[in-house]
Amino acid sequence: MTDQSIHLDEQLLETYDDTLSKQGISGERIAKRLSLLANIGLTEDNGSRRPGFSFLEREAKDKVIEWMKEADLTVSEDGAGNVFGRLEGKKKNLPAILSGSHVDTVPNGGHFDGTIGVLAALEVAQAWKETGYTPNKPYEVVVFTDEEGSRFNGGLTGSEAMVGDTDMEKTLLRRDYDGRLFEEVIQDVGLTVQDYQDTGRDLSEIETFVEVHIEQGKKLEKAGLPCGIVTGIAGPYWLKVTFEGLAGHAGNTPMDDRKDALVAASAFIQAVSTLPRKVNETAVATVGKIEVNPNGTNVIPGEVLLSIDIRDIQLDSRTMLIDHIIEAGKEIESDTGVRFMYESVHDVAPAPVPENLQKQLAESCRANGIEPFALPSGAGHDAMIVGRHVPSAMLFIQSKEGISHNPKEWSTLADCVQTVHVLKHYIETLQKA
């Protein structure tokens, strides 16, 4: 624990043009709230540390609950600790529009990832209160539990529970960074396995989910735009690959009599880097981990293990990319005699954002004088999980230098406020449909 505090609001307001605060939306309020949350779990580097299911995440949720009440929202909580602040619409019994994100962070994270999405959703409700606007449809601000997954090396825990996608058997076996079992950890913050198991909403009660999040990339900064429309969220697919050659003495084995697994693997890595652009401009593939055996200076590598992370926002192009990668491996096998083996170890389906939602968001950008800009999300978000069941969209806010999961994470208040205007316009547009 440190006694230091951070005055994020002062830094944010320094460059802020107050004319953006209008129609009930207040830049100052957003800055103050960001600052209050930033001081919960403040690290020595002026970053944030609020692991999922911790007292600090709980404290941040409790702060948000105060603000939900201030905006006249009715607060409820499910068995996974997801918090909902609901405003009834003029027309009863219509499905609700949901917006929000998370307040947990990575071990030394920033002050915008997650929190700005929650505050943006809240600001819409607060602005409505101040201008006397009541939506036709119910509106809910949501705070999802444990999005980052730094505690159990997982993530998206709360949103998965809400949509009923939790694999309870697996979840109960999980141990956190201190070796404690899931059941024990959630009891700390007043949750029980029984309630957790029973979590899950009737998804027909939700019409649309929209999440505001920082970009965590540089596309919007390069384009000079406050916000952009996410076209889809890339689901990761991990392939574990083994090249099996023949280890031998580096001095005694002639070059034409070798089955060098590392030489084969290098050709493969090169091939992998050229394949994504053949299937889709949003596709990516990364060899991020490699192990050479026996890994000796004077030994021809007999075995190479490597892992590939393959992503795209569309399932069919991602599948095509996986096929191309496997084909490349097989070709190298027949060229070199080094055996190629592969195994799928992780598969999260990508979530494309429905086109009608993207179009409506583009209209809301235009209505606020912002040129619509489409971009994919390489990272996973709660909207990816919710999007499997409910039409879900995302707005990204420009991130300075694309830095995230780092105390240096930064978005200007002007960009945040402009995005809130787009979000508010979008949610109001949905009232007519």
Residues that bind Zn ion (CB under 5 A): 113-114
Structure tokens at 78: 């499910």
Q: Give the shortest CB-117-to-Zn ion separation in angstroms.
A: 7
Angle (deg, nearest 10), helices 115-131 and 413-430: 60
CB of 160 to Zn ion, least distance (A): 15
CB of 233 to Zn ion, least distance (A): 12
Q: Is 278 exposed, middle or buried (0-12, 13-18, 19+ CB in 10 A)?
A: exposed
User: Among candidates 278, 307, 280, 304, which has minimal Cα distance to 291?
Assistant: 304
Note whether 371 and 224 are within 8 A (CB).
no
Closer residue to Zn ion in complex, CB, 118/125: 118
- Phi, psi dihedral angles at 32 (to 5 degrees): -65, -40
We find the least distance from the C-beta atom of residue 43 to Zn ion, in angstroms, to be 17
Report the alpha-carbon distance of residue 215 to residue 228 in Å, rounded.
8
What residues pair up with 375 in beta bridges, in sequence order? 230
Amino acid letter, residue 92 = K
| Residue 126: φ, ψ to 5° | -65, -40
- Considering beta carbons, is residue 103 or 127 the nearer one to Zn ion? 103
Nearer to Zn ion, 109 or 302 (CB): 109
Nearer Cβ to Zn ion (114/376): 114
Shortest Å, Cβ 242 to Zn ion: 34
Q: Using the minimum distance from each CB to Zn ion, give the nearer residue, 101 or 364.
A: 101
To Zn ion, the closest distance from the beta carbon of 101 in angstroms equals 6
Beta strand 235-244 with 339-347 is antiparallel
Query: 166, 151, 169: which is closest to 80 by C-alpha?
Result: 166
Smallest separation, CB 145 to Zn ion (Å) = 13
Place of tokens 């996410």: 230
Nearer to Zn ion, 34 or 239 (CB): 34
Query: Between residues 56 and 250, which has the closer beta carbon with respect to Zn ion?
Result: 56
Q: Which two tokens stand for residue 143?
A: 């705070």
Alpha-helical runs (H) found in 174-293: 182-188, 193-197, 219-223, 261-274, 276-279
